[in-house]
Structure 1
């Protein structure tokens, strides 16, 4: 009987410890965030971790407000901005909001060599950010929001209109590229194989020999001359 009581007491105490451990995880969400591999690329307060392509800092056209990075059209000097670091095999998540009639883009695997490539799109494929109904590009196949610009048309269009936030996810892992818009997989392809080369050969990038060839690079946000907002930018290396 004594042995039974001791065993029962041990079971209760063990269960209490398990519950306490579970509660510690619930009450300390930062613990799971710290260990799951996700890293913020935008702190919501500064442009730390970014710079204008080919420059050492971010130009004044890109600003921060309400936790979002945005383009201030009252400032004339602009340009695409890129991450300070390069990334290979990653899951990238962010939210974007475009202005009425606006155009922008998320460009991946950018090889920063401004002397050789004067624009980010000379090396990196672009995920289109667009007001589909208001911008002329919306009338061009493979140029609409969520498309892999001028390469692959989205399988569906779950994007929201100008002034509304859209959630984008871009997974680039060992050549497999997946694009999600608002939780829907809109593009899936394999990079660097013969089919990829054929896609480029049939696009406006056909005369750019190094376009889409880099297996790692920087993330760029495009300044296409229109107001655009980005927030909650985070990345996880795979």
Structure 2
């Protein structure tokens, strides 16, 4: 009993001594000072440090995937641009690593079709090659339109279903706000850390720091087959028979 009491008393004295030797300032961090960023007037407006990928006037920040020396040929009018199925996919001129992305999309009010044939497109968060190679965040009209859950809007296509169906009605603008963490690779091409993505769909959290198994595959399981660095962002011209989608107000912040 005497030894236990002595040990307890010694611990109290030691704790009091340590507390006396420390100050609140000891855990205050003053540098580096975060950069000043002026937010937009509303959350959908680009902040001061954003790169504007579409300003409602032209597609100067985009090129054709079929020939990256050629400008994107999707149709721009009235402050929006619309998928042109005859010219194929488009992608950004610049390549990006980690980023925050805002994008708005809309399917026509008179959309037709069912399942995957109803306003189908895709936002490829990192395009790793020609065609449809890359990591696809699905774009689709799923307002009262049933399909496989890892293929509905805001899914990581064929990988992870969204946490909720936050679709607005056809004809209304939808928003994706994305935080993308690119995969990292070792010198031998093996994966050091996989890609991760967080997505808000119309303000609703639908992908919560989701880990990706690799780039999208239409058939078979996703996997990392090759290392890559910073990559363009791509929009898909899917080719289904429903009316084409439109986009507006696209901006990005490199992280």
Q: Which residue of 1 aligns with 2:141?
A: 131
Q: 1:84 aligns with which of 75, 78, 93?
A: 93
What is the deviation of 1:214? 3.8
Shift of the 188–215 alpha-carbon distance from structure 1 to 2, 3 Å rule, reads: farther
Question: Would you say the 8 A contact 1:146–1:159 is kept in 2?
Answer: no
- 1:1-238 map, 5 Å: 36-55=48-67, 56-58=69-71, 60=73, 62-72=74-84, 77-99=86-108, 100=111, 101-112=118-129, 114=130, 119=131, 121-122=132-133, 124-133=134-143, 138-173=146-181, 175-191=195-211, 196=213, 204-206=219-221, 210=225, 214-225=228-239, 226-238=243-255
2:163 & 2:128 partners in 1: Cα distance?
Answer: 28
1:214 & 1:189 partners in 2: Cα distance?
Answer: 21
- The TM-score, its normalising length taken from structure 1, stands at 0.69
Q: Secondary structure at the match of 1:78?
A: coil
Over residues 59-93 of structure 1, what are the superposed CA-to-partner deviations in whole Å (9 max), with x where a residue is unaligned? 54x111111111246xxx22110000100110000
Count of residues in Structure 1 that have an aligned counterpart in Structure 2:
189
Stretches of structure 1 lacking an aligned partner (at least 5 in a row): 1-25
Shift of the 208–173 alpha-carbon distance from structure 1 to 2, 3 Å rule, reads: closer
- The TM-score, its normalising length taken from structure 2, stands at 0.65
Q: Secondary structure at the match of 2:151?
A: coil
Q: Secondary structure at the match of 1:54?
A: coil
Over residues 141-182 of structure 1, what are the superposed CA-to-partner deviations in whole Å (9 max), with x where a residue is unaligned? 211111111110000011212211001111113543101101
Q: Quick check: which has more Rg, 1 or 2?
A: 2
